[in-house]
Amino acid sequence: MKLWEGRFAAPTAKDADLFNDSLPFDKKLWKADITASVAHARMLGKCGIISADESALICGGLEKIYEDIENGTLEIQGAEDIHSFVENELVSRIGDAGKKLHTARSRNDQVATDFRLYVRSSTDTVIESLSNLIEVLLNNAEYGVKYIMPGYTHLRKAQPICLGHFFNAYAEMFLRDADRFYSSRKRLNVMPLGSGALAGTSYPIDRDMVATLLDFDKPCDNSLDGVSDRDFVAEYCFNASMAMSHLSRLCEDIILYSTEEFGYFEISDEYSTGSSIMPQKKNPDIPELMRGKTGRIYGHLMAILTTLKGIPLAYNKDLQEDKEGFFDCENQLLSCINIMAELLDNITFNTNKMKKAAESDFACATDVADYLAKKGVPFRTAHGVTGKIVRWCIENGRTLQNMTIDEYQTFDEHFDIDICETVKGKTCAEARTSFGGASPKSVKENIRSIKKRLSKYKE
């Protein structure tokens, strides 16, 4: 039964129904819808808008529907949307009292409230998943304190870094993502219910009571805005997009570092795939797919922003388009975060290969220039001298590590025997003790700081 059929002489066309109905996807909101309706009914009773008996009958009926859906005895089907389904079901169970549930509300403030409840709980789940991922990254960072790897710029070897520094960098990104979801949650946690269709209501409702029952911080201050605000969906999709961008970069690093050419990381068999024709292959399908899904999530962000851009106040049916993209965004994001945590929990490292790579290809050249600069040679001059040394090494098939002290001294008299220690990869990484730097000491400080900032989400 349609909630609004009284005005119509003819039923809607079959294809119009199929086009219009949202039940196939908004049935996901059933818990939120029933929870919000129970709070609304309690308030109607308490404010004397319906009788206490009617209120109790409605709440009891709704709770029974909740149980029946939860244990699978009631299937959600045969209505325009989840709100109609629950109301029809209630009326069929308790009769006329059920018809009073919709007093002083509209589906417009109802759907806005339900969806906020749903997105709020999803936000909490995302923050929890991100926290778990950050903990796995921190475990890897702790392991990585003892090892060095090359750091890159322009994907050319730049300077040796501690392996832990790499993982902390991603932990920082995902912590920012958690912060973003957390701060969006504050803006989201405002209750539209009581906005009615658009203009509020003439019944003596108590919006504060409903807000408290539903754990909202407060009722919204403007009913027109209340029924049409979907900023929280766009914010969620943006936060998801940002997190996917971080995941995608991490995927790219993992794919690259696990190639035969780099060979620093080894993805475990459980998170790798093979080829149907090439027996030797161990492919990084999981991180590749995750990198690919990033485009899809960005798409959901663009879709919701575009849907919202031209809508006049207040509610318009365009707003029903806020859900499907969101649900997919949520699904994909959570599975990506969770699978990345598993993949990283099982990844192994070729620490020797990383160590060798960290010293080779003149990755320690900056430290040669710094060595001279610390002895009083102006940095720009020291840079020039070191550049000449590198060129000489390339022409003569030598490395910074196998040059003799005599050879160093032919380039500048400030070189002393300690230059041999200076150009070791480990020394270079250990030397970068500045705040936020790549040395084991700084990395340990960074781990402590991330743990402290993360603790807020671990209560």
- Identify the residue whose tokens are 């906005």: 195
CA dihedral 386, 392, 396, 399 (to 10 degrees): 0
Task: Report the residue from 97, 101, 111, 267 that binds ligand ARG according to the rule CB under 6 A.
Answer: 111
26: contact with ligand ARG by CB under 6 A: yes
CB of 19 to ligand ARG, least distance (A): 12
Q: Among residues 3 and 74, whose Cβ is nearest to ligand ARG?
A: 3
Token reading at 385: 């001298």
| Total residues at interface with ligand ARG (CB under 6 A) | 10
Q: Among residues 319 and 428, whose Cβ is nearest to ligand ARG?
A: 319
| x-marked contacts with ligand ARG along 314-343 as a string, rule CB under 6 A | -x-x-xx-----------------------
Task: Report the residue from 35, 55, 108, 307 that binds ligand ARG according to the rule CB under 6 A.
Answer: 108
Helix/strand/coil for 412: coil
To the query of whether residue 154 is one of the catalytic residues in this protein, the response is: yes
- Identify the residue whose tokens are 């009581």: 194
88: contact with ligand ARG by CB under 6 A: no
Q: Among residues 301 and 319, whose Cβ is nearest to ligand ARG?
A: 319
22: contact with ligand ARG by CB under 6 A: yes
Q: What are phi and psi of 190, to 5 degrees?
A: -125, 135
CB of 5 to ligand ARG, least distance (A): 13
List helix spans (H) across 310-364.
Answer: 323-345, 351-359
List helix spans (H) across 7-51.
Answer: 14-20, 23-26, 30-46
- Count of positions (residues) in the chain: 459
Q: Which of 397, 330, 358, 140 is nearest to 254 (CA)?
A: 140
Q: Among residues 107 and 300, whose Cβ is nearest to ligand ARG?
A: 107
Task: Report the residue from 54, 57, 61, 81 that binds ligand ARG according to the rule CB under 6 A.
Answer: 81
CB of 185 to ligand ARG, least distance (A): 21
Token reading at 236: 């969620």
Q: Cite the beta strand spans of 126-266 per DSSP E.
A: 148-153, 156-162, 190-191, 218-219, 265-266
What residues make contact with ligand ARG under the rule CB under 6 A? 22, 26, 81, 107-108, 111, 315, 317, 319-320
